[in-house]
Amino acid sequence: MPQTITEKIFSDHVGRKVYAGEIIRSNIDMVIGNDITTPISIKAFEDSGVEKLANPDGFSIVMDHFIPAKDIASANQAKISRDFAYKHNLKHFFDEKDMGIEHALLPEKGLVVPGDVIIGADSHTCTHGALGAFSTGMGSTDISFALITGGNWFKVPQAIKVVFSGKPGELIYGKDLILEVIRQLGVDGALYKTLEFTGDTIGYLSMDDRFSLCNMAIEAGAKNGIIAVDNITREFLADKELAREPKEFYSDDDASYVQTIYIDVSKLEPMIAYPSLPSNGKPLSRAVSDDIAVDQVFIGSCTNGRLEDLRIAAKILKGKKVARKTRLIITPATQKISLQAQKEGLVEIFIQAGALFSNPTCGACLGGYMGILGKDEVCISTTNRNFVGRMGDRSSKIYLANSAVAAASAVEGKIANPEAL
């Protein structure tokens, strides 16, 4: 019986063929925790009486949400993870010395490889599906079960096949593709399903675009997003010391899907998700005609804080200034990206334009710190969620966009088309 890529990955881990709808127990290749969610997992782990991690080299703690600590509470929260990491001599513990946003840092470190089963106590763990892995977010107590046993229980998800066709236009990126998918499906249209991204368009997408695409699968309710391995994937992995031997799986031509969506990318405009749902997508031309002034522009996060995003923004900002009444915050996803941005002169461009260039952190994205919105303020952001109160005051409004549109909007002080600059 034919299988999807997700069914094949689980079959490999279980040791027999499995199919959508089955409840299975699978080994986990990598468990991911962060400074917000890991302390809950640690407490459950310690309350169980177990003294040793089932697979210590398969557990990464990444300090990325409130690091450096923003207040006493976040400092004490971080201390719990630090103490645990030192106690268990964790090999993959990433703090200020080598920091980054977890869903950018782990692929950069070679800790996620094709064919893996990955879980993390963060909903955007689905990002890693861009490498041909099954990757999904789970609750903190589910994480503790994996720490204790080395595995976890799953219901094998049904799959929705998304077929992208055509060459993307100059201003069309992975962010626009996924915003269009979410616009069509809604925020629960893929509930507990795999979003399998296919089609000739994939060959035009860089790994940064693919990470962005899979990152927001959860915004349609999906259990995971996934893209099959190709030469672009292999090239990304080639210079890394990989944690495991990659295993490449591909869906059978006659695999079963509950739904197939066809999107002609050549006809897409850059997409803007209006407040207050990622599914509230509108074409950029509509947003420009609506003349939407912005108080803040944010470029960063696990969705669009990669090197390609910074290069795109710098190209637009070079020789220009951020509008007088607008703030621009740019956050690289990892220290390595930050260093490369400095080497390429991107940071100088940002600062000369009037932007603030920060350390890697999730802070602004979740309304934690370093970019909180005040009453009635408007932000255009490259992040993944624009829920009410997501980035600050409940009266504030968030528009989601790609990095090019965000940068152009910072210059104009309103949502703008980069081609008009």
Of 215, 242, 263, which one is at a domain's C-terminal end?
A: 263
Same domain flag for 247 and 286: no
Answer yes or no: are the C-beta atoms of 100 and 336 closer than 8 Å.
yes
Domain membership of residue 268 (yes or no) is no
Listing DSSP states for 206-238 in one string gives: -HHHHHHHHHGGGGGT-SEEE----HHHHHHHT
Domain membership of residue 393 (yes or no) is yes
Same domain flag for 237 and 280: no
Q: Which of 46, 79, 51 is nearest to 63 (CA)?
A: 79
> Which CATH number fits the domain that encloses residue 361?
3.30.499.10
pLDDT per residue as tens, the chain (421 positions): 999 999 999 999 999 999 999 999 999 999 999 999 999 999 999 999 999 999 999 999 999 999 999 999 999 999 999 999 999 999 999 999 889 999 999 999 999 999 999 999 999 999 999 999 999 999 999 999 999 999 999 999 999 999 999 999 999 999 999 999 999 999 999 999 999 999 999 999 999 999 999 999 999 999 999 999 999 999 999 999 999 999 999 999 999 999 999 999 999 999 999 999 999 999 999 999 999 999 999 999 999 999 999 999 999 999 999 999 999 999 999 999 999 999 999 999 999 999 999 999 999 999 999 999 999 999 999 999 999 999 999 999 999 999 999 999 999 999 999 999 9
State the distance between the two ends of the chain, measured CA to CA, in whole angstroms.
54
Is residue 227 packed enough to be buried (19+ CB in 10 Å), middle (13-18) or exposed (0-12)?
buried
Domain membership of residue 105 (yes or no) is yes
Same domain flag for 295 and 360: yes
Same domain flag for 224 and 324: no
Indicate if the alpha-carbon torsion angle 251, 252, 255, 260 is positive or negative: positive
Domain membership of residue 32 (yes or no) is yes
Amino acid at position 329, single letter: I
Same domain flag for 70 and 176: yes
Same domain flag for 349 and 230: no
CA distance 370 to 72: 16
Domain membership of residue 121 (yes or no) is yes
Same domain flag for 193 and 253: yes
Domain membership of residue 414 (yes or no) is yes
> Three-state SS for 82?
helix
Same domain flag for 372 and 223: no
pLDDT on residue 120: 97
pLDDT on residue 217: 98
Of 263, 284, 319, which one is at a domain's C-terminal end?
A: 263
Task: Note the pTM of the prediction, 2 decimals.
Answer: 0.96
CA distance 340 to 90: 27
Same domain flag for 256 and 277: no
Q: Which of 145, 128, 104, 124 is nearest to 246 (CA)?
A: 128
Answer yes or no: are the C-beta atoms of 41 and 70 closer than 8 Å.
no
Of 225, 241, 263, which one is at a domain's C-terminal end?
A: 263
What is the domain extent for residue 192?
A: 5-263
CA distance 337 to 313: 14
Domain membership of residue 145 (yes or no) is yes
pLDDT on residue 162: 98
Same domain flag for 410 and 334: yes
Is residue 75 packed enough to be buried (19+ CB in 10 Å), middle (13-18) or exposed (0-12)?
middle
Same domain flag for 22 and 82: yes
Q: Say which DSSP state 80 is in.
A: H
Report the domain count for the chain.
2
Same domain flag for 307 and 173: no
